[in-house]
Structure 1
């Protein structure tokens, strides 16, 4: 018997179809019924991915193949079953190739045929989710390694990722967003376009110095460069679009000049815009009231509901390091998983080597050791280290 928590969406205009599925699936699946295709799509956009979507033959102005194709966009990991009275090969071909359906049931469908189709579709859905999770874990590890490497050479551009990621997770939790992978990837990769900029432009921009028209064009083009770098990588297509639109104002201002307005802008892009601009307006200690006041000067550029929620959730500021001890270390004593409390700077020139909030990996520790041998870094280094035993709470030397 299938897990009772597995959700199935049935969309059909016939009462007898709903009655039959309710009788068969009772106590086996969590069944959600719709008679209108548009209402079903709207529900799917806001309630996530059910295990199975069953498309009936009568959907009003929308045919079952078009509806199944639309479902593939908003819930690509749902297995789709099309109910039909058509027996032509052409219909089957269109249902599978155009509608991306998992299977087609031809009326009159017996109870056993429906139950077998549901069990097979559920197994298919679970395989899709399992493969997606494995791919996301692999991709997340690859992105983290890429960011680790880039942050060694573009520390100033990537210093914002740790505090913004922490704030993004706080905001997502307050909004009830359970799947944050796409948002976290967007945050981690958001400085990629800036890292490709000439250092002169980036330094003048950071210092709020005037830019030439040509320099402003180069700066404004950074989101497009990021999108073009990422859009052909599987699983990062949506992340690429989020990054491209993360400079787009809620009122249509910003970059790109043409594009969606208001709530048509992807939610993660709206979140990233607020958090990035807050970081730019905040002191090193974290988000504060003056930072929000700075954003309110151009309040129309931000989603008003998100801005109000961000103010409520984030005004405590700083990274959430509760439960983690602060330890003083020299480079040779750093461990994987340590999180930097302060920026790591060179001993003499005070050049930024690695930004605060960075979680250390074997790669970054090895790089810091090499950097220390060649140029020297300021030590001891303050880190957050979870689960530190009593005999190690003293300064590591």
Structure 2
């Protein structure tokens, strides 16, 4: 029997249908019932883990077929089932072709038929969830490799991803976000727009220098380029939209000019807005009270709840016992898993090689070795090394 953790949505104007589903499934699943498409879609937006969506054909609002189509966009892993008393071929065609329904059931539906349909729908949902999880792990690995490669050639643009990712996950835990994959992907890919900009334009912008009209247009086009690069990659369509709106102010300022405002801006975009601006306002040691005061000058640009939450979460002192050991290492003694405490610079020109917050891998350590052999790297390098690695170093294991 399915554990009572699966969430089922029923969209039908008939209260008897609502009570029938709740009575029949109360020992198996959680059931949420709605009598129109708008309320049901709003619920799906807030609960992306819904397992099965049942809808009647003549649903008030969008109609059953259009509602199921919209539900597929919001919760692609949910199985969709159409319920209707209309036996016409047109109804079946709309349910399958437009609503992308997994099953089609005629009303009134026998109890055994409904339970059998539920079992099939839940099995379909579980398979889609497994497939998506596998795809996400594969894609996450590919994105990590891509970011690591891009970070080697555009270290200035990608220097913040490691630190901001940790900050975003802290905020996500407090918010109770169960699925953070899209948030993590958005953080890791957030510098992509900067990486495609001419370096002199980015340097002038970060230095708050006046831009020419052409430079301003190039700068404003960065989010569009990032979105266009990602939107055609399966599973990254929503991530591309989060990035597109990540420069949009809560008050309606910023890019794009005709974009959403307030709560209409995707939550992940609002989180990115706070954390990206906080990064640039913070000293090398990380966020402090002064950095948050700098953001408060233009606080209307930020979601007030997220800004207050970030202050509470990110300014908390880390207990001493949970901190890693800070070691000063020469390149031969660096280990995978070490986290850079400072930017790594070339010996003479002081060009950025790897940024602070970067978690070292075998690949990045080899890159540092090659840089040191060719142009020289400033040493020793300060890294944070956690207790497990430190004990291994002491024992020689």
TM-score range, shorter chain: over 0.9
Whether the aligned pair in 1 keeps the contact of 2:78 and 2:125 (CA below 8 Å) is yes
CA distance in 1, matches of 2:40, 2:279: 38
Cα pair 1:325 1:388 within 8 Å, conserved = no
- The Cα shift of 1:104 comes to 0.7
What is the aligned partner in structure 2 of residue 52 from structure 1? 52
Is residue 286–residue 318 contact of structure 1 (8 Å, CA) maintained in 2?
Answer: no
Compared CA separation, residues 244 and 62, structure 1 to 2 (3 A): closer
- Sort the Cα spacing of 1:200 and 1:321 in 2 relative to 1 into closer, same or farther, 3 A: farther
The alignment partner of 1:203 has SS state of helix
Structure 1 residues 167 and 73 mapped into 2: Cα distance closer, same or farther (>3 Å)? same
Counterpart residue number, 1:201: 201
Counterpart Cα distance in 2 of 1:213 and 1:283: 31
Distance in 1 (CA, whole Å) between partners of 2:336 and 2:253 is: 42
Deviation at 1:332, TM superposition (A): 2.5
Q: CA deviation at 1:134?
A: 1.0
Distance (Å, rounded) in 1 between the aligned partners of 2:200 and 2:349:
18
Q: Superposition pairs for residues 157-176 of structure 1, below 5 Å?
A: 157-176=157-176
Matched position secondary structure for 2:9? strand
Counterparts of 1:362-381 in structure 2, within 5 Å, are 362-381=362-381
- Hey, what does 1:181 align to over in structure 2? 181
Please say if residues 287 and 316 of structure 1, whose CA atoms lie closer than 8 Å, have aligned partners that are also in contact: no
Deviation for aligned residue 1:128: 1.0
Give the C-alpha shift of residue 383 in structure 1: 2.1
After TM superposition, the score normalised by the length of structure 2 is 0.93
Rounded to whole Å, the distance in 2 between the matches of 1:320 and 1:297 is: 33
Inter-partner Cα distance in structure 1 for 2:137 and 2:205: 35
What is the aligned-residue RMSD (CA, Å)?
Answer: 2.2
Is the contact between residue 36 and residue 61 of structure 2 (CA under 8 Å) also seen in structure 1? no
Distance 2:273 2:258 in 1: 17
Residue matched to 1:240: 240
Q: Which residue of 2 aligns with 1:388?
A: 389
Q: In the alignment, which residue of structure 2 is the partner of 1:355?
A: 355
Stretch deviating more after TM superposition (307-316 or 126-135): 307-316
Aligned pair count reads 395
Pick closer, same or farther for the CA change 1:125–1:323 going to 2, 3 Å: same
Secondary structure class of the residue paired with 1:388: helix
* Paired position in structure 2 for 1:133: 133
Q: Hey, what's the Cα distance between the residues in 2 that align with 1:389 and 1:95?
A: 60
Aligned counterpart, 2:229: 229
The corresponding residue for 1:274 is 274
Deviation at 1:320, TM superposition (A): 11
Higher RCO, Cα 8 Å, sep 6+: 1
169 and 391 in structure 1: CA distance in 2 versus 1, 3 angstrom threshold: closer
* Structure 1: stretches of 5+ with no match in the other structure: none
Do structure 1's residue 97 and structure 2's residue 97 form an aligned pair?
yes
**Shift >6 Å, 4+ stretches:** 317-321
Q: Secondary structure at the match of 2:385?
A: strand
